[in-house]
Amino acid sequence: MKVKQTLVQTIAAVYVSLLLTSWAAAQASRQVSITIDDLPAAASNFISAADITRMTSKLLTTLRDQKVPAVGFVNEKKVYKLGEVDERIKALEMWLDYGFELGNHTYSHASLNRVGLKAWEDEVVQGEPIIQLLLAQHNMKLRYFRHPYLDTGRDLLTRREAEAFLVERGYRIAPVTLDAWDWMYAPVYDDAKKRQNAALEQELVKSYLSYSDAVFAYSEQLSVKTIGYEPKQILLLHGNQLEADHVGELLDVMRRRGYRFITLEDALSDPAYSLSDTYVGEEGRGWLDHWAISQGKPPQGGPVFPQWVMDRAQKLRRPQP
């Protein structure tokens, strides 16, 4: 009898500890929303509409198959290439047909810090017609805006006026908390592919994934240090071939860190995105930096971007997206 009771107790204890472990895992589970900028393609001047279509379909197929929600941010200027307008618009429409959402990233990727408030407002308005139409055809409304270069204004008055302008037009700003500079890898990756340098291609992917992992680890720590917990994060990616080919591996990196993938709407419900944020500056920065700087604690010691990738990117001299 005594032995039996002990056995029952042991089983019960194991069961309870299993329950607790899975509860803890659920509590600890990280959440992230994926956003993809510079559509229909970051390198829209350098590639054909056919390439954009192939790239978009590959990227979206991976995301859809893995049930990962995403919002894509558009620069409508990139649609206007002689003889390719219809096909480029179709590439954008694919986002909605696959069940994703589109937002505004200004007409020509204008920086609020460089062009000034009035010109930037015109850029926002000029960036709307095509996506508004496509969204309406899918019974959706244009509701998200992403600042090009993450430039939110060089002074607080400009920043607040720009925000009020966006709110008035029905936008919610899409912040960024995770960013591993895929745009810096992208031209080097394209060039390696073009030259059929498979070894370099592999080296770049390896570097991109491990740098991303380091950025995620750093950002998780910075989150806790700055606001006391890890918010529902928002990851910034770009419409490029590197993501089309390898976003699945990037998602695996995140899954190994305990992330699950949520909509931008869900992410924005996190109270972190209502925190006091008075950041202004010449340099566009992520929102973890905004919060830290607003608290007078500028962050230090993030992972260093691989110099060899930067050197190769600069040699290719493609303008920044």
What is the closest distance, in whole angstroms, from the C-beta atom of residue 72 to Zn ion in the complex?
A: 11
What is the closest distance, in whole angstroms, from the C-beta atom of residue 296 to Zn ion in the complex?
A: 29
C-beta closer to Zn ion: residue 38 or 93 = 38
Instruction: Report the Cα 270 to chain-centroid distance in Å.
Output: 17
Tell me the number of residues near Zn ion by CB under 5 A.
3
Q: Which residues contact 38 (CB under 8 A, 6 or more apart)?
A: 44, 73, 75, 78, 105, 109, 183, 238, 239, 240, 321
**Stretch in the footprint of Zn ion (CB under 5 A) among 16-24, 142-150, 201-209, 246-254:** 142-150
Contact letters (x/-) for Zn ion, 35-74, by CB under 5 A? --xx------------------------------------
Residue carrying the six token digits 């990233």: 105
What is the closest distance, in whole angstroms, from the C-beta atom of residue 187 to Zn ion in the complex?
A: 14
C-beta closer to Zn ion: residue 37 or 179 = 37
**Stretch in the footprint of Zn ion (CB under 5 A) among 15-23, 147-155, 167-175, 292-300:** 147-155
Decide if 145 contacts 173 (C-beta within 8 A): yes
Determine, following the binding rule CB under 5 A, whether residue 190 of this chain makes contact with Zn ion: no
C-beta closer to Zn ion: residue 148 or 286 = 148
Torsion of CA 303, 42, 312, 214, to 10 degrees: 20
CA distance 305 to 215: 9
CA distance 44 to 51: 10
C-beta closer to Zn ion: residue 37 or 123 = 37
CA distance 321 to 310: 15
**Stretch in the footprint of Zn ion (CB under 5 A) among 31-39, 157-165, 213-221, 281-289:** 31-39
What is the closest distance, in whole angstroms, from the C-beta atom of residue 59 to Zn ion in the complex?
A: 16
Residue 72 Cα distances to 18, 158, 191, 224, 284, angstroms:
40, 26, 24, 28, 19
Interacting residue ranges for Zn ion, rule: CB under 5 A: 37-38, 148
